[in-house]
Amino acid sequence: MRNSGFLESLNVFYQYSKLSLKVMLEFKLDRSMITLAIFCREMIAVVVMLLILARFLHIRGWDMNQLFFLYSFLFISYSLFVFIFAGVRDFDQLVHSGEFDRYLIRPRGLLFQVVASKIDLPATLGHGVVGVILFMNTAFSVGITWNMQNILFYISVVVGGAVIQASIFMLTACMSFWAIRIENIRNLIFFNARRIAGYPISFYPAFIQKMLIFIVPFSFVNYFPAQFFIRKEDMNLFWDGFMYMTPVVGVVMFVVVSLFWRFGVRSYSSSGNALY
């Protein structure tokens, strides 16, 4: 029974996706240009890094392939995150336009509707392709044996990383329930943290390391998972357990944020949307 409920939901999700795709096809040219723009923007960052690194053989024990392998996690997990959670990313618009009221009068879960109703294929592809390019060029030259166990672990950290990022976005999305808009601050923090996480966190002063572990935990999106695979010396600076924690951090963050979300929905229902 539960199972058939799940399949049924999956089908509804699929129906939503079909419409999102149709909209995208309607604006083929526009969306292709956006995809290309995102791809170029991210690729430029990669090329800049490449030019800087090309002068060195190693930086603090990391060679270029290893650094780009580390970098690839950011793109692949971000791509997965926007693929599924674009609705959460843009949640503030949903509340401020009053559209969210409509979700409340449909016989489906709220988060389900938010997630299902939006797919951002340009961002998914733009980031995803960069991620795959980086991955393909590095994953087989940094000494990883891609056996079953490693493949499964890789998948779990990519999913975990996506969930960590989704949780950060959902936390700020919740603020919309109190009509507080902090998307700008969020984007500032999120994308700068992400940029910092492009390099091994051991390169940074202790307080930035702490921030990327405990506050905006991007270290679990790329640094610790990458360390699991390529085990560099600087891992000695940190607790070994961190290497396995990505899925756990993801789940814990998501559970906590979901509780906050529920609290927010309740508050929304008692205050109403002041803009409508």
Ligand X SMILES: Nc1ncnc2c1ncn2[C@@H]1O[C@H](COP(=O)(O)OP(=O)(O)OP(=O)(O)O)[C@@H](O)[C@H]1O
Q: Which residues bind other proteins (CB under 8 A)?
A: 8, 11-12, 15-16, 19, 22-23, 26-27, 98-99, 101-102, 104-109, 266, 269-272, 274
Q: Which is nearer to other proteins, 11 or 150 (CB)?
A: 11
Q: Which is nearer to ligand X, 178 or 203 (CB)?
A: 178
Cβ at position 31, least distance to other proteins in Å:
12
Q: What is the DSSP code (8-state) at residue 238?
A: S
Cβ at position 211, least distance to other proteins in Å:
25
Supply 182's token pair. 């902090």
- Asked if 110 and 104 count as a contact pair (C-beta separation under 8 A), the reply is yes
Q: Which is nearer to other proteins, 118 or 194 (CB)?
A: 118
Cβ at position 101, least distance to ligand X in Å:
11
**Residue 273 near ligand X by CB under 6 A:** yes
- State the Cα–Cα distance between residues 153 and 174, nearest whole angstrom: 31
**Residue 272 near ligand X by CB under 6 A:** yes
Q: Which of 35, 30, 173 is nearest to 115 (CA)?
A: 173
Buried b (16+ CB within 10 A) or exposed e, 250-267: beebbeebeebbeebbee
Q: Which of 58, 87, 112 is nearest to 166 (CA)?
A: 87
**Residue 270 near ligand X by CB under 6 A:** no
Instruction: Give the orientation angle of helix 223-230 with respect to helix 64-89, to 10 degrees.
Output: 140
Q: Which is nearer to ligand X, 145 or 270 (CB)?
A: 270
Q: Which is nearer to ligand X, 143 or 272 (CB)?
A: 272
Q: CB under 5 to 8 A by kind: which of ligand X, other proteins, none does 143 bind?
A: none
- Asked if 252 and 167 count as a contact pair (C-beta separation under 8 A), the reply is no
Part in contact with ligand X (CB under 6 A); list of ranges 49-57, 117-125, 147-155, 266-274: 266-274
Report how many residues bind ligand X under the rule CB under 6 A: 3
- State the Cα–Cα distance between residues 184 and 245, nearest whole angstrom: 29
- State the Cα–Cα distance between residues 100 and 77, nearest whole angstrom: 27
Is residue 117 helix, strand or coil? coil
**Residue 274 near ligand X by CB under 6 A:** yes
Q: Which residue is listed with tokens 């357990």?
A: 241
Cβ at position 25, least distance to other proteins in Å:
10
Q: Which is nearer to ligand X, 137 or 273 (CB)?
A: 273
Q: CB under 5 to 8 A by kind: which of ligand X, other proteins, none does 1 bind?
A: none
Q: Which is nearer to other proteins, 15 or 141 (CB)?
A: 15
Q: E strand or H helix at 52, and its extent?
A: helix 28-53
Q: Which residue is listed with tokens 């503030």?
A: 92
User: Residues interacting with ligand X, by CB under 6 A?
Assistant: 272-274
